[in-house]
Amino acid sequence: MQAAVALVGERGTAAVPVSDIAEAAGVSRPVLYQHFGDRDRLLLESALDLATRDLLPSMEAASNDPTRRSGALALARHFAANSAFYRAVLTSSCAFELNKALTGLLIPVNRELVHGLFRGALDPQAELDFAAFLTGGGAAVVNTWVVEGTEPLDPEQFTDRLMRLAGAAFELLRPATAQPATAYPATTQEPER
């Protein structure tokens, strides 16, 4: 999986021959096919492995930040550092499956965030719905940034954008009786156009 991430990132395309990935990984093509089935499954599993090994731990390490900016910055840094790989996969035939899988990986993180910010004032279904809303909307913004953004991607600037969006979403969707534990800080910076 690490060989797939490296080769796809280096070449900037998901159309890397399976034989090249197998050679870089030091395994035979049949072994690779036996384990993953096809290149799309290999790329999907590679992206999930990368997110599980790199993104989730860095977001977890940032979870004590009351402003939540550290977690957003960890996410932005992860996608910026691996932008060539993600750009290639997000524009390939496995893009839908990757979005679906990453959303599934991040909904629990956002559900915990929603629960903490609303101090349990939302019922479980509303928490899950709000977490899915944040994750799906966030994925659309991240995907557009990764695929269409100007290199090098600027994680700090993108984090400011995410914080503005999150703050607005929480304000608009917060029930009148719920007071968030920690508000997302407003920013006075003009949005990037």
pLDDT by residue, tens only, the chain of 193 residues: 999 999 999 999 999 999 999 999 999 999 999 999 999 999 999 999 999 999 999 999 998 898 889 999 999 999 999 999 999 999 999 999 999 999 999 999 999 888 888 887 889 999 999 899 989 999 999 999 999 999 999 999 999 999 999 888 878 776 654 454 444 444 444 444 4
Residue 60 lies in a domain: yes
Residue 131 lies in a domain: yes
Split into its structural domains, the chain has a count of 1
Residue 110 lies in a domain: yes
Residue 84 lies in a domain: yes
Report whether 104 contacts 133 (CB < 8 A): no
Amino acid at 185: P
Specify the pTM. Answer: 0.87
What CATH number does the domain containing 132 carry?
A: 1.10.357.10
Lookup: tokens for 148: 């269409």
Residue 93 lies in a domain: yes
Residue 119 lies in a domain: yes
How many other C-beta atoms can be found within 10 angstroms of the C-beta atom of residue 18? 15
Of 99, 94, 80, 103, the residue nearest 36 (C-alpha): 94
Of 137, 57, 139, the residue nearest 97 (C-alpha): 139
Distance CA 129, CA 132 (A): 5
Containing structural domain, residue 81: 46-173
Report whether 76 contacts 158 (CB < 8 A): yes
